[in-house]
Amino acid sequence: MAAPPPAPGAQPPQSPAPSPRATTTTQERSVGTTNLLADSLRVGAGVGAVGLLFGATAGIVKGTTPILFSLSTGIQWFSLSSAFYGTRYAALARLGPVDQATPSQKLQASAIGGGVSGATVAGILRGPRNILPAALMFSLLGAGGQFAVNKRTGAGDAVPRDEASSWLNFRFSPMKKLTDAEYEHMLSEKLLVLEAEIAIVEDSIAELKAQKLQQEAGTSRL
């Protein structure tokens, strides 16, 4: 059954306007993607410049054309580093907050970044046959490098042992770990004892002075 025609003068129904929150979220994602792309290209440019120098040096040492070898190495290093950085960051963002990523999450992201970047560059520059071997090799390289970094940084960020399990708090230990309040109380007691000893010494000195004055007075009379 056909819908009845709109009444004369009636306005056609309008589609609901998008909410401001949805618009803001879309804009934030767009800005985040743009920033990630810019950062990836920046990292790739730095690594690619190093690749150009390395390729030129290797070309001179091998006796081949340094310019072509330099360009080839620079392009490969630029592509690998850009794809690795972007993919790894995106994977970290999917796993959770990037600044709060755990070592396990970093390891996963590095493996994903290495596999994707290796497969992409190998597929473009060396053909489809090299995609799978390159993905596997670079995934292992990314995971291995991140594992080494985690080990090195984890050595300096070792979790401190629980003070309650310290040997100083052992029942039969000859020493005991003091709190700040206990240490302050102990120092106060020692200070009181020291002040009392000083007062006794001062009294003794005063008595000696009095005896000396009496002896001098008796001697003068004689």
Q: Is the dihedral of CA 210, 212, 217, 218 positive or negative?
A: positive
Are residues 42 and 149 located together in one domain of the fold? yes
Are residues 192 and 144 located together in one domain of the fold? no
Domain contains 171 = no
Are residues 146 and 109 located together in one domain of the fold? yes
Are residues 141 and 61 located together in one domain of the fold? yes
pLDDT number for residue 22: 47
Are residues 149 and 81 located together in one domain of the fold? yes
Are residues 149 and 43 located together in one domain of the fold? yes
Are residues 75 and 110 located together in one domain of the fold? yes
Residue 32 one-letter amino acid:
G
Domain contains 6 = no
The range of the structural domain enclosing residue 137 comes to: 35-153
Are residues 86 and 130 located together in one domain of the fold? yes
Domain contains 73 = yes
Each residue's pLDDT, cut to its tens digit, for the chain (222 residues) gives 455 555 555 555 555 555 555 444 565 566 567 787 888 888 888 888 888 888 888 888 877 777 888 888 888 888 888 888 888 888 888 887 877 888 888 888 889 999 988 898 888 888 888 889 888 998 998 888 889 888 888 754 554 455 454 545 555 555 666 677 877 888 888 888 888 888 898 888 988 888 888 887 777 666
Are residues 186 and 126 located together in one domain of the fold? no
Q: How many domains does the chain have?
A: 2
What are the backbone angles phi and psi of residue 170, rounded to the nearest 5°?
-65, 145
Rounded to whole angstroms, the Cα distance separating 17 from 91 reads: 33
Domain contains 168 = no
Rounded to whole angstroms, the Cα distance separating 74 from 23 reads: 40
Are residues 40 and 130 located together in one domain of the fold? yes
Domain contains 64 = yes
Are residues 66 and 116 located together in one domain of the fold? yes
Query: Which among 107, 122, 153 is the end of a domain?
Result: 153
Are residues 148 and 183 located together in one domain of the fold? no
Domain contains 70 = yes
Domain contains 28 = no
Domain contains 198 = yes
Contact between residue 43 and residue 82 where contact means Cβ atoms under 8 Å apart: yes
pLDDT number for residue 14: 57
